[in-house]
Structure 1
Amino acid sequence: MLEVLTGSGLAFAAGLNAYIPLLVMGLLARFTDILELPAAWAWLGDDWVLVVLGVLLVIEVVADKIPAVDHVNDVLQTFIRPTAGGIVFAAGTGSVTPAVTDPASFFTSEAGIAFIVGLFLALTTHVAKAGARSVVNLSTAGVGAPVASTVEDVSSVTLTILAILVPVLVLVFIAMLVVVVIRMRSQRRRRRSLST
């Protein structure tokens, strides 16, 4: 069960920012004993992969904070974030972490299924993020883009760390995000009904 929470948290985080969970996993696997990646995903800890992920993360962080550019970025990320979600779900469910000591008990040879599950979770998060971002940009004339992007980045980092260290808290974090989104939507509906 913890394997599913670890993989799900990582995939949801990839839906917000593709490179944060990939980079965090690679850095932890390379420089600490906190995360041991399965052999098939050990390349995430290679020096050149970490450099490329770092550069891509910087580009993503900057592009996502600029109104209009963030929309183009979201369109491009429609392919990247789900792929990253598939990778981190498959790698996360097969990794040894402080909470997961026997990852083979979940996915032994079904890496393809894990990848598809992660892809779907990240795609779902990405679509929700892109839709919410459009609303934020329209309602604030683009001024809210940097704030929304920063919240998404912080959420991605938090979700990644929780998924690796305390996967049970992934459920709490996701529940909190759902409550926030529902409240935002109901406030928007109330404002619309008052304005008409």
Structure 2
Amino acid sequence: MSALPLLFTAGWASGVNAYLVVLLLGLLGRFGLADAVPETLQRSDVLIAATALFLIEVVADKVPYLDSFWDAVHTVIRPIAGGVVAALLAGQDDSLPELAAAAVGGTAALVSHLVKAGTRMAVNTSPEPASNIVVSTAEDIGVAGIITLAVFNPVAAAVVATILLVIGLALVSLFASRIRRALRRRRARRTARHVVAAK
């Protein structure tokens, strides 16, 4: 069977939380639960780094506005991670050229990252911090569940990831005006700080 569903799902999940994807795939491979996971992802140094970065993301991703800053920083990191993970998985399977696999994983990661970042901007317009914690926790649980499903049933996982991506795009479109207001407020605060500093 083609590895395409697994590559797409891993890319989608990397756009939400790349460190958790690397950690879960590495652990599933390390404990012999997934033959499709390359040894590179199972190495101790990779697992330790992924664990440390995942723990940092767990905290940063639940703090209003810090989460949006974290997302901005990861606009490059997550698509690259999605592409690399997909290329490594394709290298194990040999059913798809690694460059094509990287394009699939990287593109899926970029789109899901933009959905996540846009959704978070909308959530940050809410006056209370609990919504950030709820959304972030749901994202982490969703990534863990879909990656685990992808290892055992990649087609079903790809279908779920596609549905979530479509819903996410619809939500970002729906909340576009709220996101624009949040960006305007952020620019206004930045301008005010510059004016104060110049005095």
- TM-score band by shorter chain is 0.7 to 0.9
Write the deviation string for residues 124-170 of structure 1: whole angstroms up to 9, x where unpaired: 10001100110111135443111111111111111211211111212
Aligned equivalent of 2:67, options 53, 66, 70: 70
Q: Does 1:15 align with 2:48?
A: no
Query: In 1, Cα distance between the equivalents of 2:142 and 2:124?
Result: 19
Query: What residue is the counterpart of 2:55 in the other structure?
Result: 58
* RMSD, aligned CA: 2.3
The whole-number CA distance in structure 1 between the counterparts of 2:36 and 2:173 is 43
Question: Which of the numbers 129, 132, 136 marks the counterpart of 2:116?
Answer: 129
State the match for 1:194 in structure 2: none
Aligned length: 176
TM superposition outliers: structure 1 runs of 4+ over 3 Å = 139-143, 178-189
Indicate if the aligned counterparts of 2:36 and 2:89 stay in contact, CA closer than 8 A: no
* Matched residue, 1:47: 44
What letter matches 2:19 in structure 1? Y
The 1:77–1:185 alpha-carbon spacing in structure 2 relative to 1, beyond 3 Å, is: closer
Deviation, 1:2, is 4.0
- Partner SS, residue 139 of structure 1: coil
Cα offset, 1:183, TM superposition: 7.0
- Residue 90 of structure 1 aligns with an amino acid whose one-letter code is A
The SS at the match of 2:125 is: helix
Q: 2:33 & 2:157 partners in 1: Cα distance? A: 21
Q: TM-score, normalised by structure 2?
A: 0.78
In the superposition, relative to structure 1, how do residues 186 and 115 fare at CA in structure 2: closer, same or farther (>3 Å)? closer
Q: Which structure's CA Rg is the greater one?
A: 2
Shift of 1:22: 0.7
Structure 1 distance, partners of 2:28, 2:44, is 12
Report the Cα offset of residue 119 of structure 1: 0.9
Could you tell me the TM-score, scaled by structure 1's length? 0.79
Structure 1 residue aligned with 2:27: 27
> Which residue identity does 2:9 align to in structure 1?
G
Conserved? CA contact 1:78–1:126, under 8 Å: yes
Determine helix, strand or coil for the equivalent of 2:130: coil
Structure 1 position 31, deviation (Å): 2.2
Distance between the aligned counterparts of 1:182 and 1:112, measured in 2?
Answer: 26
Q: What is the identity percentage for the equivalent residue pairs of Structure 1 and Structure 2?
A: 36
Cα contact 2:87–2:101 (8 A) shared by 1: yes
How far apart, CA to CA, are the structure 2 residues paired with 1:188 and 1:131?
8
Find the aligned partners of 1:25 and 1:111 in 2 and give their Cα distance: 18
